[in-house]
Amino acid sequence: MNDQHEQRISFLNLRTLVVVHDLVMIGVAWLVARLATLWLLGETAVDWRQLAIEINLVLVIQGFLQWRTGLYRGVWRFASLPDLANLGRAALLAAVASSAVLLVLDAPLELMVLMVWAFPLLLMLMLGIPRLVYRVFKDMRLEVHRRRQTFRTVIIGAGSSGRMLLPELRRRGSYDIVGFLDDDRRLCNTEILGVPVLGDVSNLPRIAREAAIDMAAIAIPSATNQQMQRIVEACEKAGVEFRTLPTLKQMGASITRFDDLKPVAIDDLLGREPVSLDWESIRSGLAGKRVLVTGGGGSIGAELCCQIARLDPAGLVVLDNSEYNLYRIDHRLKSEFSDLMVETVLGDVCDSATVETVMKRSRPEVVFHAAAYKHLPMLQHQVREAFRNNVIGTRRVADAAVRYRASSFVLISTDKAVNPCNIMGATKRTAELYCQYLNNNADTRFITVRFGNVLNSTGSVVPLFNEQIRNGGPVTVTHPEITRYFMTIAEAGQLILQAAVLGKGGEVFVLDMGEPVRISFLAEQLIRLAGKEPGRDVEIVYTGLRPGEKLYEELFHEHEPYATTAHEKIFQTRSPSRQLEGIEERLRQAEQAVLLYDNAALRRLLLELVPELGRVPRRERKVVPLAG
């Protein structure tokens, strides 16, 4: 308490001391200048009454002029070279003030000429020298701090999170908290636990320069992506390191744990408001049930596995054809959920024997089918492999789910299945249609969940851009206007679980992806997060649209009506029944074409199953973001 008491010198009191100091210096400067001019003029008698009147007048006039020049917008702890400009203006105005005073008192002309030069010069010295001395003293203290490996830090956000972060940083001993920044004007010039609120975030570049700030701790867990973008831009202009608290969604119940200040990631800039979920219904839909996740080692599959593991399932089976991915998710699940019965299976969803064995042994009640190939440019020239994995693989798992009486089958789909002009999108659309066909002919509930790109998922654009930035560039973007929908891995996983318990069977649930993001904007933000400047340190090169690539992705087909659901972030639709006619026969033909490696036949069958594939993409049409 004593240490805090010693630090509780009011910000306003410090400013008052500065003003008092300057007023005293004004009086002293006038007194010295006046006595010096009398001596130069050869006068020995001093009219002290007249001198007192002059000093009072000059104090009022000069004090007002210095306040108007902005000399007191800062305090001495932030005194810097830019203050010299204000001091220079104050000295020029001192000449005006001295002239005004002497004119009012009918002083002799020769006295006025001498005072107009002597008073401003003395005032400049008396105001500037103490500031210079203090700056040198402060720089010496800063050097001592640096030797002790302390970080001069400002906390951005003076709300409850910032107030809770302050004592945490103090306890660590390596942070010298200079002040808070907050956009709430009511907090400006106040104190929090002895630390001043220095102004709003836009002041950060100036304060960082004047107070030699090393780091900014962003303590606004509820910040929107627009707010985070503005804060990060200010930090980058200031040239300081910046870290942020986890979001409210990431912190969960651990609201007081601030040991994991983390670097600002692209998720913080492009993420959306935290998703509110009905965890009770999700838990009741999965607790005590046996769950199978195919593709469980991938980005979305692994996130689903971890979220499902928290909901107390009777058992969790993870199937993946990547040995390394399977090893990683197996290690993670067994270390974080030691009481959960986990079985990891290395195998291919296209292998009938593997799927049959897994289904017969585990008898899953809920199946999440996340296994898929998704690299659009590569699959454009690999029709057989795309069809085999995305369609036949889905068919193998879906048919087995029906045979072994799974209650629910959830297909993880993509916005590229909407009006596809590429092989990957067409195969995912075919998988959607087959699941809806089975829903009409089986007791298992088939539910499809469709969403856009997932930030930082394997094979996505973010890891590619980061690698290009690490290598010094250039960052390659296909088109300046190309846009995509994005969401975080955690949000995608949570909304998939919510859709799974909402579905009655046959629906295609579409996740509200918010506003589409320009890929060029994404590239610029990633370059800045790496501490570099787009166009100067790292170039962005436009390479042209690739085969099968659209400028704008869509979330619904043109003639696909959609409706809201009980969750504001999830919409639902159904495909017209005419699209399901003849699908069983065409898939039998396609399986034969896969066995014969007949790419031409597969392309023909894909065109019959998904007629949109043969159309020219409507690149000129932007998608209107979904409303609530």
Q: Is residue 444 part of a domain?
A: yes
Bigger pLDDT: 68 or 234?
234
Amino acid at 477: V
Bigger pLDDT: 157 or 411?
411
CB atoms within 10 A of CB 158: 24
517: left (phi over 0), alpha (psi -120 to 50) or beta: beta
Q: Is residue 501 part of a domain?
A: yes
pLDDT of 601 strictly over 90: yes
Question: pLDDT tier at 97 (50, 70, 90 boundaries)?
Answer: low
Please state the rounded mean pLDDT for residues 256-267.
Answer: 57
Angle between helices 323-336 and 299-309 (to 10 degrees): 20
Whether residues 118 and 36 share a domain: the answer is: yes
Whether residues 299 and 393 share a domain: the answer is: yes
Highest mean pLDDT pick, 356-365, 451-460, 501-510, 525-534: 356-365
Q: Is residue 274 part of a domain?
A: no
Q: Is residue 619 part of a domain?
A: no
Whether residues 190 and 305 share a domain: the answer is: no
> What pLDDT was estimated at residue 570?
77
% of the chain with per-residue pLDDT over 70: 74
CA distance 247 to 381: 41
346 membership: H or E segment, kind and range: strand 342-346
DSSP track, 170-192: HHHSSEEEEEEE-S-GGGTT-EE
> What pLDDT was estimated at residue 84?
61
CB 584 within 8 A of CB 437: yes
> What pLDDT was estimated at residue 614?
62
CA distance 240 to 98: 44
Bigger pLDDT: 98 or 354?
354
pLDDT of 620 strictly over 50: no
Please state the rounded mean pLDDT for residues 570-574.
Answer: 75
> What pLDDT was estimated at residue 7?
45
> Which letter does DSSP use for residue 471 in this model?
T
Highest mean pLDDT pick, 11-15, 127-131, 409-413, 505-509: 409-413
Please state the rounded mean pLDDT for residues 187-191.
Answer: 80
Question: pLDDT tier at 345 (50, 70, 90 boundaries)?
Answer: very high
Whether residues 299 and 338 share a domain: the answer is: yes
> Which letter does DSSP use for residue 573 in this model?
E
Q: Show which of 91, 117, 144 is a domain's final residue.
A: 144
Beta bridge partners of 446: 409
Whether residues 211 and 356 share a domain: the answer is: no
CA nearest to 209, candidates 135, 271, 158, 283:
135
DSSP track, 225-250: HHHHHHHHHHHHHHT-EEEEPPPHHH
> What pLDDT was estimated at residue 626?
35
Whether residues 37 and 177 share a domain: the answer is: no
pLDDT of 6 strictly over 70: no
CB 119 within 8 A of CB 29: yes
Whether residues 443 and 559 share a domain: the answer is: yes
Whether residues 228 and 313 share a domain: the answer is: no
Cα→Cα distances 175→154, 165, 172, 179, 216, Å: 9, 11, 7, 11, 11
Whether residues 369 and 426 share a domain: the answer is: yes
Q: Show which of 237, 264, 291 is a domain's final residue.
A: 264
Residues 91-94: contacts with CB under 8 Å, at least 24 apart = 91/120, 91/121, 91/123, 91/124, 92/120, 93/62, 93/65, 93/66, 93/69, 94/29, 94/62, 94/65, 94/119, 94/120, 94/123, 94/124
Highest mean pLDDT pick, 44-48, 262-266, 384-388: 384-388
What CATH number corresponds to the domain at position 181? 3.40.50.720
CB 138 within 8 A of CB 148: no
Over residues 286-299, the pLDDT tens digits come to 888 999 999 999 98
Amino acid at 49: R
- Taken in order 593, 598, 603, 608, the sign of the CA dihedral is negative
Domains of the chain: total:
3
> What pLDDT was estimated at residue 492?
82
% of the chain with per-residue pLDDT over 90: 23
Question: pLDDT tier at 93 (50, 70, 90 boundaries)?
Answer: low
Highest mean pLDDT pick, 161-165, 291-295, 485-489, 614-618: 291-295
Highest mean pLDDT pick, 11-15, 222-226, 492-496: 492-496
594 by DSSP, 3-state: which? helix
Whether residues 260 and 288 share a domain: the answer is: no
Residues 169-173: contacts with CB under 8 Å, at least 24 apart = 169/217
Q: Is residue 272 part of a domain?
A: no
Amino acid at 90: A
Over residues 469-508, the pLDDT tens digits come to 888 878 888 888 888 877 778 878 888 888 888 888 888 8
pLDDT of 579 strictly over 80: no
> What pLDDT was estimated at residue 253?
38
- DSSP E strand boundaries for 72-221: 151-156, 175-181, 191-192, 195-196, 215-218
Whether residues 129 and 101 share a domain: the answer is: yes
Question: pLDDT tier at 622 (50, 70, 90 boundaries)?
Answer: very low
Beta-carbon contacts of 329 under 8 Å, excluding residues fewer than 6 positions away, are 296, 297, 301, 302, 305, 318, 320, 344
CB 373 within 8 A of CB 386: yes
Whether residues 229 and 162 share a domain: the answer is: yes
CA distance 240 to 242: 6
> What pLDDT was estimated at residue 572?
78
Please state the rounded mean pLDDT for residues 108-137.
Answer: 72
Please state the rounded mean pLDDT for residues 157-165.
Answer: 83
pLDDT of 544 strictly over 60: yes
Please state the rounded mean pLDDT for residues 375-392.
Answer: 91
Q: Show which of 238, 264, 290 is a domain's final residue.
A: 264
Beta-carbon contacts of 45 under 8 Å, excluding residues fewer than 6 positions away, are none
611 by DSSP, 3-state: which? helix
- Taken in order 203, 206, 211, 217, the sign of the CA dihedral is positive
pLDDT of 419 strictly over 80: yes
CA nearest to 442, candidates 394, 506, 396, 509:
506
Taking all residues of the chain, what is their mean pLDDT, rounded to a whole number? 78
C-alpha atoms less than 13 angstroms from C-alpha of 392 in its C-beta half-sphere: 22
Q: Is residue 270 part of a domain?
A: no
pTM for this prediction: 0.64
Question: pLDDT tier at 429 (50, 70, 90 boundaries)?
Answer: very high
Please state the rounded mean pLDDT for residues 32-59.
Answer: 72
Least reliable range by pLDDT among 112-116, 191-195, 345-349, 390-394: 112-116
**Cα radius of gyration rounded to whole Å, the chain:** 35
pLDDT of 585 strictly over 80: yes
Q: Is residue 271 part of a domain?
A: no
Q: Is residue 620 part of a domain?
A: no
Domain span including residue 57: 2-144
CA nearest to 555, candidates 411, 451, 430:
451
> Which letter does DSSP use for residue 311 in this model?
T
